[in-house]
Amino acid sequence: MSLFPNLKQKDTALAKTISDKLYMIEKLVGKKIRKNKELFITAITHSSFSGENKGFNSNERLEFIGDSVLSLAITHYLFDRFEKLPEGELSKKRAYIVSEKSLSEKAYNMNIGEIMLFGKGESKSGGKFKKAILADAFESIIAAMFLSYGFDSAEKFIINSFLKELRELNNIEATDYKTRLQEIVQKNTHKVPEYNIILEEGSQASKIFVAEVKVKGKKIGEGKGQTKKEAEEAAAMEALKSEYIRKFEETTITK
């Protein structure tokens, strides 16, 4: 029985494309896909393609669950490997791996952009090089692995994909998020981020600080920490994920 049986007879070229894409996904994940084949095709389907082709769903919902599975798998790995590191340092290492920059570069190197299904407009505009699209597709494939074969298989795929980066974590300095945020903000707005401690929780022995960061009066991030510095770093890390900052960053992979 063929994939997407509702395809009309005249769509034999599309049916062949879908079959070829499935084969490419199998090569990518290192597994013969015998069930939920349509789910894996959905994982590589951009909304521009589903909008032009009835019967196809975009990968947006899968990206939602893939993001959580990825985060859990990396968290599990870091927790086991770095037994003496505090929560704050573990979070920084995890952020290095699961950032859009890291995901999109990994997806690009794995040729996920070539596997994806795009509509005509998105294909012409270079969708296969766009960072957000690549990162989302990678997370969607992770979701398909999780939903089809369980967490263990998804985790194995994730760890194998990032093995080189994970092994290099010992040699990577903790990211200074405040410095990175300031560089982006100054370059694009000629202003500097402003930090405020907006809440102090707990006793003197176990106090938690909550910080916010603003640019030109607009709040773009909030974070917690055991010190004011940690809270400000956490707020800067969240700000770097915000739409306000992401619009300033390069949106495509440089070929």
Q: Which amino acid is at 56?
A: F
Catalytic residue among 63, 122, 139, 230: 139
Whole-number mean pLDDT of the chain?
A: 88
Residue 20 has pLDDT above 70, yes or no: yes
Question: 177-245, what's its fold?
Answer: Double Stranded RNA Binding Domain (3.30.160)
Quick one: three-class SS letters along the chain? CCCCCCCCHHHHHHHHHHHHHHHHHHHHHCCCCCCCHHHHHHHCECHHHHHHCCCCCCCHHHHHHHHHHHHHHHHHHHHHHCCCCCHHHHHHHHHHHHCHHHHHHHHHHCCHHHHCECCHHHHHCCHHHEHHHHHHHHHHHHHHHHHHHCHHHHHHHHHHHCHHHHHCHHHCCCCCHHHHHHHHHHHHHCCCCEEEEEEEECCCCCCEEEEEEEECCEEEEEEEECCHHHHHHHHHHHHHHCHHHHCCCCCECCC
Taking the model in full, what pTM does it have? 0.74
Q: Mean pLDDT throughout 81-106? A: 85
Are 141 and 43 spatial neighbours (Cβ–Cβ below 8 Å)?
Answer: yes
Q: Please indicate whether residue 67 is annotated as part of the active site.
A: yes
- What are the pLDDT digits (tens) for 174-212? 557 888 899 899 999 999 999 999 999 888 777 899 999
pLDDT at 15: 84
Least confident of 95-104, 148-157, 165-174, 211-220: 165-174
pLDDT at 5: 57
pLDDT at 1: 41
Is 9-171 a domain of CATH 1.10.1520.10?
Answer: yes
Catalytic residue among 67, 155, 212, 238: 67
pLDDT at 4: 62
**Is pLDDT larger for residue 114 or for residue 234?**
114
Percent of the chain at pLDDT > 90 equals: 59
Q: Mean pLDDT throughout 128-150? A: 95
Domain residue spans of the chain: 9-171, 177-245
- What are the pLDDT digits (tens) for 7-16? 555 578 888 8
Q: Please indicate whether residue 38 is annotated as part of the active site.
A: no
Going by pLDDT thresholds of 50, 70 and 90, the confidence category of residue 254 is low
Residue 64 has pLDDT above 90, yes or no: yes
